[in-house]
Amino acid sequence: MRSISSITIKCLAFLLGLSLFFGITPVFAADNELNLCMVSTQTKWLNPLQAEEREFQSLTALIYEGLYTLDDDYKPQKNLVERCDIDGNRWLITLRTDVYFHDGTPLTAYDVEATINEILRLAAENQGQYAQLKYIIKSVSVNSSNSLLITVNRPYYGTYYALTFPILPASQIQVQNPVGTGPYKVDSFVAGNHLHLSANPYWREKEPAIRYISVSFKEKNNQLLEEYEFNRVDAAITRSASAGQYQTGVTNLNIPYRTNQLEVLLMNNRKGPTSDERVRTAIRYALDVDAIANHCYAGTAIRTDTPLPYGTWMYSMNDSYYEYNPDKAKALLAEAGWEDLDGDGFLDKYEDNEKVTLHLRLLVYEEQSNAVRIPAANMIKTMLERVGIKVTVSSISFGEAQEKLKVSNFSLCLAAYQMDVVPDPGFLLMSSNTGNFGLYKSSNMDNLFKKLRTTMDPAEYQNLLWQIQDQFGQDCPFICLYYRAGALLTRKVFTNARDIREPEILRGIEDIVN
């Protein structure tokens, strides 16, 4: 079913094992520096509460830490938290006592309180990287120097995920470059030029083998790839499809990482031909998504059939919904009353005694730095026309797309969602919710999300996510295509993590110890 599944993030452990066989340099005590390169043109300061660039967050994730962290199975684990006592909507959190900021001051509950209040302040102004916290946390108060009480809006397992936001010192909440508690501290930062990090002398764990990380910033991907090509850096992080030219081999690892960008084909559920579930389902059967990903994205896409990322504990696979089967597509279209009445290869039907052709307009907007959607839209057009659906591709600006999506003025739209860290796609699927541009409505789906958002039991949470995905498969409100992927190109093995994901692309670098 998924011909590109071999590039999923779960292959990292296998790749790292192969690296020793191929002779790629592993990190060891005498080799304690990593030179890295990435594109950065917008980030002016390090404060992670108002992040500008997604890739840059892989660096701030080394500097700052959250109360909880996510493991290789994408499950929450305590990080700065010693214990958490939950009583209904009240979370009493006790902090670890061995955590210090880079300037030597201990982490206190006042720091956590100040960070949460700043996030909520920004969220009230529709700003900040962690604005979704306003839907989860109602209030916060300090209980003692190392404990605080967080009052949440409802009992909800997703709260653990929301508590992964970075903690800053209370005295530096709005400082451009605050200190953190992470494994690396900042030695020097010049926006658009470089960032130099070194091992945190107050780090509570063992000293990492890589003590120094030097990052150079480039304006364009071709400049970044040139730095890597001519061996001026050890590693490079990029979302450019051009990274596909560097294959894993004797001197190089090309490790894909999953971004939070979910690419979808939206369909209007309320008006036009796509208001018929049979037509929407036929469109899904007509698309060879693997072929689109392989041809247009050159390995920079990780296939998913549902809004949840493939290969994680919350993903539910049911291939019967998502197989590529043009014959099934044609049968469903015929069942919906569409047939080629004039022999021109496109399907028609009579409505109010007038012949109409099954003609859909496919809207597409492009990313300036990664122009791949228009070729993908043209492949979709070709595939749909093979089953008799006439398609016109219209390239529009991002602003134009936003306006049309807001008022649901479209038939098909190739678009992308930036998914939240909390595994809860309700904003896409609940009636009248913010991301439900296709006007999908299902009382069953709404009830599933109501249950999901009132459970604290991880097994029940997982089961509800599986039911949500099953309902999604039945109703076909839109088509999930793939999560966009980036590439970590490296000549050094510097992590044991097997789930390389945005924004923690360098996660685990501190775990390789002397």
| Segment 31-69, tens digit of pLDDT | 799 999 999 999 999 999 998 998 999 999 999 999 999
Classified as helix, coil or strand, 36 is strand
Closest C-alpha to 338, from 361, 362, 363, 360: 360
Specify whether the CB–CB gap between 494 and 210 falls below 8 A. yes
Closest C-alpha to 257, from 420, 489, 487, 70: 487
Specify whether the CB–CB gap between 390 and 333 falls below 8 A. no
Q: Rounded to whole angstroms, how far apart are CA atoms 38 and 506?
A: 12
Q: Rounded to whole angstroms, how far apart are CA atoms 12 and 9?
A: 6
Q: Rounded to whole angstroms, how far apart are CA atoms 148 and 141?
A: 6
Mean per-residue pLDDT of the chain:
91
Give the 3-state secondary structure percentages of the chain, helix then strand then coil, rounded to 5: 30, 25, 40
Closest C-alpha to 180, from 196, 208, 200, 156: 200
pLDDT value of position 25: 53
Which residues in 90-100 are b (16+ Cβ under 10 Å) and which e?
ebebbbbeebb
Specify whether the CB–CB gap between 138 and 153 falls below 8 A. yes
pLDDT value of position 231: 92
Specify whether the CB–CB gap between 37 and 235 falls below 8 A. yes
Residue 288 scores a pLDDT above 60: yes
How many of the other CB atoms lie within 10 Å of CB of 381?
A: 19
Residue 85 scores a pLDDT above 80: yes
Per cent of the chain over pLDDT 90 is 80
User: Which helix (H) or strand (E) element contains residue 468?
Assistant: helix 458-475
User: Which helix (H) or strand (E) element contains residue 355?
Assistant: strand 354-357
What is the band of 495 on the pLDDT scale with cuts at 50, 70, 90?
Answer: confident
Q: Which pairing describes strands 33-39 and 235-238: parallel, antiparallel, or unpaired?
A: parallel
Q: Rounded to whole angstroms, how far apart are CA atoms 438 and 399?
A: 18
Q: What is the pLDDT of residues 104-131, one digit of tens each?
A: 999 999 999 999 999 999 999 999 989 9
Residue 16 scores a pLDDT above 80: no
Mean pLDDT of 76-89: 97
Classified as helix, coil or strand, 257 is strand
CATH number of this structure's domain 1-47+54-64+182-252+491-514? 3.40.190.10
**Pair of tokens at residue 252:** 């190089």
**Pair of tokens at residue 32:** 């304690």
**Pair of tokens at residue 116:** 């949460």
**Pair of tokens at residue 293:** 């990903």
pLDDT value of position 17: 52
Annotate 390-448 with DSSP letters as a single string.
EEEEEE--HHHHHHHHHTT--SEEEEEEE--SSS-THHHHSTT-TT-TT----HHHHHH
User: Which helix (H) or strand (E) element contains residue 90?
Assistant: strand 90-95
**Pair of tokens at residue 415:** 């678009």
Q: Rounded to whole angstroms, how far apart are CA atoms 153 and 91?
A: 11
Residue 20 scores a pLDDT above 70: no
Residue 368 scores a pLDDT above 80: no
Residue 29 scores a pLDDT above 80: no
How many of the other CB atoms lie within 10 Å of CB of 470?
A: 15
Closest C-alpha to 328, from 370, 378, 281, 276: 281
What is the band of 1 on the pLDDT scale with cuts at 50, 70, 90?
Answer: very low
**Pair of tokens at residue 200:** 């945190």
Locus of tokens 């110890």: 513
Specify whether the CB–CB gap between 74 and 313 falls below 8 A. yes
Specify whether the CB–CB gap between 133 and 123 falls below 8 A. yes
Q: Spell out the domain ranges in the chain.
A: 1-47+54-64+182-252+491-514, 259-485
Residue 281 scores a pLDDT above 80: yes
Q: What is the pLDDT of residues 163-220, one digit of tens each?
A: 999 999 999 999 999 999 999 999 999 999 999 999 999 999 999 999 999 999 999 9
pLDDT value of position 336: 98
pLDDT value of position 369: 59
259-485 to CATH, choices 3.40.50.1220, 3.30.70.260, 3.10.105.10, 3.30.365.10: 3.10.105.10
Q: Rounded to whole angstroms, how far apart are CA atoms 298 and 295?
A: 6
pLDDT value of position 391: 98
Classified as helix, coil or strand, 112 is helix
Half-sphere exposure of 416 (CA within 13 A, CB side): 18
Task: Enter the DSSP assignment of 380.
Answer: H
Per cent of the chain over pLDDT 70 is 93
